[in-house]
Amino acid sequence: MSVDLAQVKKIATLARIAVSDRQAEALVPELNNILHWVEQLNEVDTEGVAPLEAVVPNRTRLREDAVTDGGIRDAVLANAPAAEHGFFAVPKVIE
Amino acid sequence: MANYIIEGDTGPWELVIGLEVHAQVTSNAKLFSGAATSFGAEPNAQVSLVDAAMPGMLPVVNGECVKQAVRTGLALGAEIHRWSRFDRKNYFYADLPQGYQISQLYHPIVGEGALEVQADEKNPDSAVRSIGIERIHLEQDAGKLIHDQHPTMSYVDLNRSGVALMEIVSKPDMRSPEEAGAYVKKLRSILRYVGSCDGNMEEGSMRADVNVSVRKANAPFGTRCEIKNVNSVRFIQAAIEYEARRQIEVLEGGGAIVQETRLFDPDRGETRSLRSKEDAHDYRYFPDPDLLPIELSDEFLSECRDSLPELPDAKRARYAGLGVSAYNAAVLTAEVETARYFDAALDALARPELANDAANWVVAELFGALNRIGANVEASPVAPAQAASLLRLVADGTLSKTLAKQVAEVMFETGGDPEKIVEERGLRQTSDTGAIEAVIAQVLAANETKVAEYRGGKDKLFGFFVGQTMKAMAGKGNPAVVNELLKKALG
Amino acid sequence: MAGAELTDLTVAGIRDGFRRGDFSAREVAEAFVAAVDGADALNAFLVKTPDHALAAADAADRARSEGAPPPLSGVPIGIKDLFATQGVPTTAGSRILEGFVPPYESSVTARLFAAGAGMLGKLNMDQFAMGSSNETSAYGDVLSPWRRGDGGNAPLTPGGSSGGSAAAVAARLAPGVTGTDTGGSIRQPAAFVGITGLKPTYGRCSRWGIVAFASSLDQAGPMAQDVRDCAILLEAMSGFDPKDSTSLDAPVPAWEASMSGDLRSKRVGIPAEYRMDGMPAEIERLWEQGKAWLRDAGAEIVDVSLPHTKYALPTYYIIAPAEASSNLARYDGVRYGLRVTPGQGGLADMYAETRAAGFGDEVKRRIMIGTYVLSAGFYDAYFRKAQQVRALIARDFEQAWEKCDVLLTPTAPSAAFALGEKSADPIAMYLNDVFTVPSSLAGLPAISVPAGLDGQGLPLGLQVIGRALDEQGVIDAGLAIEERAGFAAKPEKWW
């Protein structure tokens, strides 16, 4: 499969990365090279093979339902580019 | 209910409705972090580094949330998946710190089940329909955006970020707004019985995405629209009604329905398109590599099963078996707190043959009194054991119904025990024939004309004599004895 | 002891000398702090934290006088900038985390510090650990302390992504460092600079507090001068962490105490598929030499097959970018790090501009690939397919373990290359990890041990891969190579 300019722009939008037209044009062959390269996998017969679930056998541990965290608002907000009145602040969202 | 149709210009239309109910799981801590879940905290006070998606933070599953989802599934008779897994749903929004919501797309924890819904629960003859449950999965809630605090900024509060939700997905089995309403009420009732969700719709503990389409009879399903985040039964019904009519208008005008997400505006009672936001949704679900699959052991499942309470339908059947009327049984089981009260009263009464008297008393007297004082059943000044004592006093003839009402009034006011009130106020009913005969003699003597009329054939006057006698006895005469002796005296 | 002699010591040498009273922890720390200060030309450190190292040293000296110094007392180390360090800027080599100061300590660094180690600073790296040459760092290339013997002085790569970590140990700026390995990021740079690097079994070291690249592959591990040091450091770094759901709830063996280069009764597998077309003869020869060493150590050499080896890289370059595209979604300018707000722009513009300005080209490339392979209509063809092939790769290893106990392979297909030599061709760069990626996909422990020099006088490494949880087997075989290779070369100081 190959991507064209429109798809590259769509991917960039999905990934929320601004790209100029020039950048998008440059990305078309770059991404296609990589995609064609990974498509070697089509040579592999994977009929009936279950996708890998856990890298190393391990078991889910269920946490106890106890409040052990939170109450650290200052730490949570400390690195915020903009924080006001205990909130993170972002450019106005119109819903 | 099954025949709900909307008459359009081109003939009758049928509605097809499916609901995705998001129910906040009752737990102390969040689904993947140890931060608290309680409502109404200061902004960002219940946020851990995991909830804020700080670099390198990792989720760990709260076992209680898994248990609650399984218990809910069991209560809905649904298939429990012993192997389930979390997936990431990727999208960007300011209330979603990770840039993905951890949810379950491919392998939800609960599979198919069903919910029996009666359009008019209090009418035992109304139709019962089975609404299919497609699945229940666990997922994280998002944070909250606040838009009205600053002219050019929106504020982000992550207190809700990471709170566990169960998404309960129905099949497109509902055919009318009322049926959808009944489904939500019934579901809410069951969740509250199970204790897996507090069902508090005002605080957002339960909200629904409503899928609506219309079709002509026996036609295939039409294109549906999804109305997001509707947070009351009334709004759900209003949204369905509006949306169905809108779709019919579009179709009859020669248009086509566009599958889209819409918002219900309760002030205007209408739905409107949200398409502006929906241009590029592609959630790129994939298994969350930070989490391992959940495998449920036999032990875990039996723990879940053993912790389930008696559910509303079973309770209703049991009450009916005790002679409780269908109406009373429906009323008593609708809310778990009421049922809990009634069960406690029945236990204290320890006389199953009085179950319907008890039911009548709870439904008529207790609810009436609670309504007047504006209290819910959990805050009832009359405890279930006290109610049982009162009912026993009536049953053994100590109190007439009228006296019982008086005693109950005092109980509601003072919270006192009925036996004591009877003693202190001398409200004991009398069956003493001598005393009653003396009063009857006085009453007849004072109403000679009426006695003559009665004896002349005006039978209706009998009630008058009963009333006069009871009044003279301050209501304490045993009505049966009074009747009997009056008949004899007037004979 | 003079400063230069102190900085030549291994972790074990420092630990033991400190305990014997040959020198104080303060002296050691000061020597390394000075070495770090004198090595700015290498650009190995992004942040220097002499105060941290000196405070830990003083605490070590006090603990020693009280008689019970914890195991890494007196040992200063360097920390890859992928580990969140409380109160110390952590950028993962990216502009998007500029100015981020974590209010928390990663589990691995917390363990190291609790064991008495002090931190000399944060080490430069490929941005978000995406790279094999350290050239994707937003904060400049790391220069290898090594130079080719041709007198050309072309600046060489220390490898990546743990390039700063590798350069620091090779240049004796730290006796040991942390690295992380997603597809070879510990082993390949270790091989390029002539040091030892150990990637443990997936789940041995907690990932909590390590900036995530690809969750199902990322593992922390030590890099140091020799095998023993790696064993010592790994013991301190490992252990169950309830905060990481993928952490293994298994006891941490006493790897150092059990270490032995005696491989009698061990079988060493040689995977046929690792003999690649165009592999330099020097690498081929070194591999043969490695077999001879291990035979000499008592092991039986057996031929094995890992048939899906050639598909490991394409598999990796689907799975790792897919996970990364999601893991890196949190860098949105809302809660930390860079924010770029265009004039009249709204939230969506803020996201797009912030991420465009904050991420480097390679990171963007991988996010885009990852986004594509997960998107509607392509998931099955790419991501699911890759996870199926990954299962086959893991199965290859399982079958090999029926015939052998460890595998011996080269670490990298070449010696260190010059900076700029491969940066224009992503796939050529990806091929660097051809020997390290398969074991990463299967979550297996693997070590790279320096084994010789190429014709230009540059180090080459051999890799030993073991069964899951058999770090001991990997360490023992690594030690057997180390004992026989007698690798003592170190770069001449020019910085």
| Chain B contact present for A48, CB below 8 A | no
What local confidence, expressed as pLDDT, does residue B122 receive?
67
Residue B408: inside a domain: yes
Report the percent of chain B where pLDDT is more than 90: 77
Q: Nearest by CB to A93, which of B33, B94, B287?
A: B94
Residues B131 and B280 in one domain: yes
Q: Do B168 and B62 share a structural domain?
A: yes
> Same domain, yes or no, for B147 and B223?
yes
- Residue for token digits 């009453």? B443
C161 as an active site residue: the answer is yes
* B308 — pLDDT class (breaks 50, 70, 90): very high
Provide the phi-psi class of A63: left if phi over 0, else alpha when psi is between -120 and 50, else beta: beta
Angle between helices B326-334 and B312-321 (to 10 degrees): 150
Does C291 reside within a domain? no
On whether residue C325 sits in a domain, the answer given is no
The last residue of one of the domains, among B377, B400, B425, is B425
Cα–Cα distance between B39 and B51 in angstroms, integer?
16
Residues B73, B148: one domain? yes
Same domain, B110 and B137: yes
For residue A91, pLDDT beyond 90: yes
Q: Do C208 and B290 touch (CB under 8 A)?
A: no
Q: What is the DSSP string of B96-162?
A: -TTSEEEE-SSS-SB--EEEEEESSTT-TTS-EEEEEEEEEEEEE---EEE-SSSSSEEEEE-TTTT
Give the pLDDT band of residue B434 (cuts 50, 70, 90). confident
Please tell me whether residues B375 and B473 are part of one structural domain: no
Instruction: Report yes or no: C87 at the A interface, CB cutoff 8 Å.
Output: no
Amino acid identity at C431: L
pLDDT score, position B1: 46
Put simply, the answer to whether B45 touches A16 (Cβ < 8 Å) is: no
CA pair distance B467, B461, nearest whole angstrom: 10
Which residues in chain A have their CB less than 8 angstroms from residue B284's CB? 14
In a domain, B390, yes or no: yes
First-to-last CA distance in chain A? 36
Residue-wise pLDDT for A67-77, tens only, equals 999 999 999 99
Least confident of B219-223, B372-376, B477-481: B477-481
Active-site entry in C94, C107, C144, C161? C161
* Distance, CA of B181 to CA of B370 (rounded, Å): 26
Q: B309 CB near a chain A CB, below 8 Å?
A: no
Rg (C-alpha) for chain C, rounded Å, is 21
Query: Are the C-beta atoms of B424 and B395 separated by less than 8 Å?
Result: no
- Domain stops at, among B397, B425, B453: B425
Cβ separation A81–C390 shorter than 8 A: no
Assigned fold of A5-43? Histone, subunit A (1.10.20)
Q: What is the pLDDT of residues C406-463, one digit of tens each?
A: 999 999 999 999 999 998 888 888 998 999 999 999 999 999 999 999 999 999 999 9
B1 found inside a domain: no
Q: Check whether residue B354 and residue B445 sit in a common domain.
A: no
B105 vs B144: CA distance, rounded Å: 23
Inter-chain residue contact B44 with A86, CB threshold 8 Å:
yes
Residues B242, B104 share a domain: yes
- Judged by CB atoms closer than 8 Å, whether chains meet at C203 and A58 is answered as yes
B292 vs C246: CA distance, rounded Å: 7
Q: Annotated catalytic residue: which of C165, C185, C247, C423?
A: C185
- pLDDT at residue number C279: 86
Q: Which of C104, C347, C371 sits opposite B94 (nearest CB)?
A: C347
CB distance A65–B65 less than 8 Å? Answer: yes
pLDDT given at position C34: 98
Cβ contacts (< 8 Å) between C337 and chain A: which residues? 79, 81
User: Which pair of tokens denotes residue B458?
Assistant: 């005006």
**Residue C249, both tokens:** 């709830």
Q: How confident is the model at residue B280 (pLDDT cuts 50, 70, 90)?
A: low
Question: Is 90 exceeded by the pLDDT of residue B430?
Answer: no
Q: Would residue C80 show up in a list of annotated catalytic residues for this protein?
A: yes
Using the Cβ of B149 and the Cβ atoms of chain A, whether some distance falls under 8 Å is answered with yes
Which chain C residues touch A13 with a CB distance below 8 Å? 352
Active site residue C185: yes
Structural domain tally of chain B?
A: 3
What is the domain extent for residue C426?
3-263+415-485
Give domain status of residue C318, yes or no. no
Taking 50 as the pLDDT cut, the residues of chain C under it are none
Residue C249 sits in a domain of what CATH number? 3.90.1300.10
**Cβ–Cβ contact A59 with B under 8 A:** yes
Q: How many whole angstroms separate alpha carbon B102 and alpha carbon C197?
A: 34
Whether B44 and A59 lie within 8 Å, measured CB to CB: no
pLDDT value, residue B490? 87
Task: Answer whether residue C161 is part of any domain.
Answer: yes
Query: Does residue B137 contact residue B294 with C-beta atoms inside 8 Å?
Result: no
Q: How many domains does chain C have?
A: 1
Q: Specify the amino acid at residue B49.
A: L
The DSSP string of B383-396 is -HHHHHHHHHHHHT
Is the domain of B83 the same as that of B117?
Answer: yes
List C residues 234-253 in contact with A (Cβ-Cβ < 8 A).
Answer: 242, 245-246, 248-249
- Helical packing angle, B336-349 and B177-194, nearest 10°: 50
Q: What is the DSSP letter of B430?
A: B
Chain A CB contacts of B156 under 8 Å are 87-90
B55: helix, coil or strand? coil
- Which of C216, C212, C202 is CA-nearest to residue C247? C202
Q: What is the pLDDT of residues B88-133, one digit of tens each?
A: 999 999 999 999 999 999 999 999 999 999 877 667 677 889 999 9
Looking at the fold, whether B262 and B340 belong to one and the same domain comes out as no
Query: What are the tens digits of pLDDT across the range A25-73?
Result: 999 999 999 999 999 999 999 999 999 988 888 888 999 999 999 999 9
* pLDDT at residue A94, as a whole number: 73
DSSP tag of C383: I
Would you give the end-to-end CA distance of chain B in angstroms? 56
Is residue C70 in some structural domain? yes
Supply φ then ψ for residue C64, to 5 degrees: -65, -40
pLDDT band at B399 (very low <50, low <70, confident <90, very high): confident
Q: Which stretches of C34-173 are assigned E, i.e. beta strand?
A: 45-48, 76-80, 118-123
A43 CA: distance to closest CA in chain B (Å) = 23
Same domain for B160 and B278?
A: yes
C-interface mutation test, from B47, B50, B54, most C Cβ less than 10 A away? B54
Query: How many whole angstroms separate alpha carbon C408 and alpha carbon C72?
Result: 31
Tell me the sheet residues that pair with B155. A89, B146
- Give the nearest partner residue to A41 out of C311, C333, C336, using CB atoms: C311
* Cβ within 8 Å of residue B10, ≥6 positions away: B252
Give the whole-angstrom CA distance, residue B187 versus residue B201. 13
- Nearest-by-Cβ selection for C389 from A19, A30, A41: A41
Q: Do C97 and B52 touch (CB under 8 A)?
A: no
Same domain? B351 vs B274: no
**Which range marks the domain in which residue B44 is found?**
6-301
Q: Is residue C277 part of a domain?
A: no
